[in-house]
Structure 1
Amino acid sequence: MSTPTSGHGGTHAVAAARRHGVDTMFTLSGGHIFPLYDGAVAAESSVRLVDVRHEQTAVFGAEGIGKLTRSAGMATVTAGPGVTNAVSAVATANFSGSPLLLLGGRAPDDRWGQGLLQELDQPPILAPVTKQARTVHRTGEIGPAVDEACALANSAHRGPVFLDLPMDRLYEQAEADPHAAHGRESDRSPDPGAVSHIAHLIGQARRPLLVYGSDVWMDGAETTARETAEELGIPVITNGQGRGVLPPGHPLLATRARGRAFGQADLVIVVGTPLDFRLGHGLFGGADGADPAKVVHIADSPGQLATHLTLAGSVSGDLSAVLRGLGDTAKPARDVEAWRADLRAAVTAATADDAALLASDADPIHPARVHGELNRLLDDDAVVIGDGGDFVSYAGKYIEPRRPGNWLDPGPFGCLGTGMGYAMAARLSRPSAQVVTLLGDGAAGFSLMDVDTLVRHNLPVVMVCGNNGIWGLEKAPMRMLYGYDVAADLAPHTRYDEIVRTLGGGGELVTRPAEIAPALRRAFDSGVPYLVNIATDPDDVYPRKTMGV
């Protein structure tokens, strides 16, 4: 039997989180949660405090840790506006399936209902965007509650958990079991019959296609996913953190020909990502007179399987086990080589078309030129973060990660402002890797003040701002709809680089294509948070299609 330990609520909370591998607490100071800080600075806890300038950044930092390490990151925020400021970031983690522990301060229980400062019942606000949101009303239960919350956040399907901690309960002393049991995850063995049925569908298909999404990475299935694709010889399209499961140039990687692949496929097997707007809601095939494709959905848990369309097959469970089962039993039709050759030719043609844009000497600068120069400087283990609209859409098309898990973006919720928090997480969890944050100038306005946090905590990252002086995702569509636009312009050539220098980092403005590469090299060599502020062409609009990247 374990011996109960004595301490205040903050001590118990941090000790429990530490047992789940948490070593960083992202926060913004507030008196309601001082005991959590006291728990973090205790010698035995070894938890680093990263204090930020906005609660949203704190939660994005913790979510970034979850995305990169596949284990819940932790953020702590004070009561009332501290919690409400965090909601959009929590929703992002929920939509992205990122493991996250959020601890929120709360007005004291003993005087609840008397009009206390920041007295707000917070769990009902967080409940729709978390796996669990509850208040812990006893000091001795705080440690076990954190233990349970971390286990829940880290179990499939992963996501955020919120615990509401009354101020008086955090400050109180109590005994708690330091090894409280949190139970075991339920059996995730896939249904063998469902796996056999999908294997049969693969054997019947002439133009099968695999789609690998973020949960392939989050579930630790990236190696098996690559092996299965290679064993079966099926072309692959990747999205989210699934990008990099097959490295750039792999003969089965068809992402650059996704329009043709999705339009011509007769069987699409989607693994570890929802059938949402990014995948045309699962309506594949039908191009050039082809029949609609059969669709198979494979997810890490039953609740993630699509219900809005008729599936030809589905299975949930441990993704490595599902993919291993398909690799062992499926036998693709012999004429699949013609399909592979067709997509390889389409990828080759698209790559050739890319070359001109990636080396464009257009003045004003074409956004693709920025990514062309960046590609030549990225190491295999570089972490690339996208936080923006048009500028990041180009990055999604032209920057292909070499390894899985190394591409971070706001995900299906599409919340801007992730960039600084994700950058902090990347620098802390990958201390020797290049960390590059790609910002649209609109997105920069959400979080650039947190460069101050990067500087204070000595977290050097490279930031590249595509500065076209507009809200690109809104300006062109509004003009198309109404013949004019409003509320879509920003000041041209704003000196975001000077803001970064004022905050203690480095930066410079780039206005000509030939200046891009030298500026990027200076940024990588600087050893400080460094912003390359690139004036791009406001008249260039990313070409969007229903099934586009």
Structure 2
Amino acid sequence: MADKKRGSQALIKSMINQDIKYVFGIPGAKVDQLFEDLQYSDQPNAPQLIVTRHEQNAAFIAQGIGRLTGKPGVVATTSGPGVSNLVTGLMTATAEGDPVIGLGGQVPRDDLARLTHQSIPSKELMSVAAKSSVEVQDANNLSEAFTNAYNTATSGKAGATFISLPSDVLSDNVERPEMAPLAKSERTQTSPTTLNKVIDMIKNAKLPVILAGMRASSQEVTESLHKLLEKVALPVVETYQGAGVISHELIDDYFGRVGLFRNQIGDTLLKQSDLVIAVGYDPVEYEARNWNVEHNDQIINIDSISPELTVDYQPDVVIEADIAGTLDALTDALPADYKLSTETVHQLTELRQVFDRQNEVKTTAKPGTIHPIDIVNELQKKVDDNTTVTVDVGSHYIWMARHFRIYRPRHLLFSNGMQTLGVSLPWAIAAKLVRPNEKVVSVSGDGGFLFSGQELETAVRLNLNIVQLIWDDGYYDMVKFQEEAKYGKNAGVKLGKVNFVKYAESFGATGLRATNPDELSQALDQAFNANGPVIIDIPVDYSDNIKLKSALLKDILN
């Protein structure tokens, strides 16, 4: 007879079988058996338990793990408010296609129908935030529940899954064996007939443009995209989550990113195109009603999932198959002598000249502050292709998305599905765990930083050299400048002053301040060579924010 084990031990063994490296969260009475068994597990390769300062931030870190690795990050919390604090994190992961598994403690089974301490309908609550939400009623089902949660989190459009765990289920004995590691799915291929139709559409188009979205940013898909572009030079526009799919070697094919306001070079190119090839594009990133106002002549949708159809997005060809495999087949099938016309190449060259001048504008800032372009340019000088940069939501987010260059996928992270405040530092913690030998930079505003700034203690405890930039202006500025554009005045956006240098020091981190580009350059050098996390407080002059909405095309305030 097999050795007896508790439900929590079977759950841990299931995590090991699916190669889970970390569990993030906060303990409590309804989930303490799992935390005890994680902390003192004698199982080789048991996940490392990392306690955070807030459940929402634990979910964000797990989301960061999911985005960076393609494998679910795991977050565990206690019942009641422990579970409800996961909602924003799981909702963000689901919207933005990042695999996460949420584990929520629950009252014992015989208390589920009673008004007892911390009893809430967790499964029902999470059904609107996650792809799937289940409650385990028998310890023998734990391994199956976890493995199915893993499979659901990674299949189709990735996202969050949730498992409610009554405390007595975690402590009950288990008799069944654990589920084995999941087998890798086989690549699916598009039909030759469809592939030939796509080839004809590309050959007959005057200006075909690739729109690379969130599901184009996996390493596998990016490599296949590179092979295609090495054979055929086609212009590429990235979404924010597609950032980095274009390498240094293919930079002539890069025409910027699109998102938020319809006034970028990429928007101009999409408008002029008579064939948009959408690769791994998700409408939550940038709705077609923004970039496809004039309704392009033709659209090809290449994705691993079926697209959402609207009056603004009705592709002429839909390929629902393995994206990398489809791009490989397309590369093989395209004629070797295919190339864009001389007229189109000239058109793209003129557009590129305008695009390349964007970062070279002359800037002026008030004394004691730094212009956003200067912050971006100083940071650009200090990073390399292996650096991971996580970006919170705010005015800085728009400047970074438009002007900061990155040449590897999933090395510049944005929340552009939910635009959730507070993600940057938790994502940076995830990045430093996944990529311990590479530089990691977190970029936040002074408003968004304090949504999750308490996790600076987690970074200090783990001795993670994360460089946290805070663009400091004393406002929720992304709201402020849009209110002023719409109403001529602002409301409800003013913040109080915070000494972020002392804030950093109070956590045992290093605190620096930079008030001009030279000071920022020196501070970045010091920060990257420091032991542990560093905050750099940067007073920013956002006077030029109105240029963020200046229209190359008719602007759409979001």
Task: State whether TM-score is above 0.5.
Answer: yes
Aligned-pair identity in percent equals 24
Which shifted more, 445-454 or 237-246? 237-246
Which shifted more, 359-368 or 106-115? 359-368
**Partner residue of 1:266?**
274
Measured after TM superposition, the shift of residue 486 of structure 1 is 1.5
**Partner residue of 2:243?**
243
Measured after TM superposition, the shift of residue 16 of structure 1 is 0.6
Distance 1:88 1:5, change over 3 A: farther
Give SS of 2:441's match.
strand
Distance 1:5 1:192, change over 3 A: farther
The one-character-per-residue Cα deviations of 1:101-143 (angstroms, maximum 9, x if unpaired) are: 1111111102222321111111122112322101010011111
Q: Does residue 504 of the first structure (1) align with residue 508 of the second (2)?
A: yes
**Partner residue of 2:106?**
106
* Alpha-carbon distance between aligned partners in 2 of 1:285 and 1:397, rounded to the nearest angstrom: 21
Q: Does residue 7 of the first structure (1) align with residue 8 of the second (2)?
A: no
Measured after TM superposition, the shift of residue 547 of structure 1 is 7.8
**Partner residue of 2:476?**
471
Q: Is the CA contact 1:388–1:438 (under 8 Å) kept in the aligned structure 2?
A: no
Q: Is the CA contact 1:58–1:421 (under 8 Å) kept in the aligned structure 2?
A: yes
**Partner residue of 2:519?**
515
**Partner residue of 1:58?**
58
Q: Is the CA contact 2:255–2:355 (under 8 Å) kept in the aligned structure 1?
A: no
Give SS of 2:377's match.
helix
The one-character-per-residue Cα deviations of 1:478-523 (angstroms, maximum 9, x if unpaired) are: 233333222111135x322321111110111222333111111111
**Partner residue of 1:535?**
539
Measured after TM superposition, the shift of residue 178 of structure 1 is 2.4
Alignment of 1:297-316 (within 5 A): 297-302=301-306, 304-308=307-311, 309-316=313-320
Q: Is the CA contact 1:73–1:100 (under 8 Å) kept in the aligned structure 2?
A: yes
The one-character-per-residue Cα deviations of 1:144-170 (angstroms, maximum 9, x if unpaired) are: 211221122122221111111101111
* Alpha-carbon distance between aligned partners in 2 of 1:333 and 1:305, rounded to the nearest angstrom: 32
Q: Is the CA contact 1:297–1:313 (under 8 Å) kept in the aligned structure 2?
A: yes
Matched residue type, 1:106: Q
Alignment of 1:46-125 (within 5 A): 46-125=46-125
**Partner residue of 2:256?**
255
* Alpha-carbon distance between aligned partners in 2 of 1:157 and 1:457, rounded to the nearest angstrom: 32
Measured after TM superposition, the shift of residue 259 of structure 1 is 3.0
Distance 1:192 1:292, change over 3 A: same
**Partner residue of 1:162?**
162
* Alpha-carbon distance between aligned partners in 1 of 2:357 and 2:539, rounded to the nearest angstrom: 26
Distance 1:330 1:169, change over 3 A: same
**Partner residue of 2:262?**
none
Matched residue type, 2:468: M
Which shifted more, 426-435 or 393-402? 393-402
Gaps of 5+ in 2: 258-264
Gaps of 5+ in 1: none
* Alpha-carbon distance between aligned partners in 2 of 1:182 and 1:532, rounded to the nearest angstrom: 43
Distance 1:188 1:224, change over 3 A: same
Give SS of 2:529's match.
helix
* Alpha-carbon distance between aligned partners in 2 of 1:13 and 1:219, rounded to the nearest angstrom: 30
Matched residue type, 1:43: D
* Alpha-carbon distance between aligned partners in 2 of 1:336 and 1:19, rounded to the nearest angstrom: 53
* Alpha-carbon distance between aligned partners in 2 of 1:181 and 1:463, rounded to the nearest angstrom: 37
* Alpha-carbon distance between aligned partners in 2 of 1:306 and 1:497, rounded to the nearest angstrom: 49
Q: Is the CA contact 1:67–1:218 (under 8 Å) kept in the aligned structure 2?
A: no
Q: Is the CA contact 2:390–2:427 (under 8 Å) kept in the aligned structure 1?
A: yes
The one-character-per-residue Cα deviations of 1:414-439 (angstroms, maximum 9, x if unpaired) are: 11111122111101000111000000
Q: Is the CA contact 1:4–1:178 (under 8 Å) kept in the aligned structure 2?
A: no
Measured after TM superposition, the shift of residue 532 of structure 1 is 0.6
Distance 1:513 1:205, change over 3 A: same
Q: Is the CA contact 2:13–2:46 (under 8 Å) kept in the aligned structure 1?
A: no
* Alpha-carbon distance between aligned partners in 2 of 1:5 and 1:241, rounded to the nearest angstrom: 47
Q: Is the CA contact 2:240–2:285 (under 8 Å) kept in the aligned structure 1?
A: no
Distance 1:548 1:369, change over 3 A: farther
Q: Is the CA contact 1:461–1:529 (under 8 Å) kept in the aligned structure 2?
A: yes
**Partner residue of 1:37?**
35
The one-character-per-residue Cα deviations of 1:357-397 (angstroms, maximum 9, x if unpaired) are: 5x756643211111100000002100010002111211111
* Alpha-carbon distance between aligned partners in 1 of 2:416 and 2:2, rounded to the nearest angstrom: 42
Matched residue type, 2:5: G
Alignment of 1:120-131 (within 5 A): 120-131=120-131
CA RMSD of aligned residues (A): 2.4
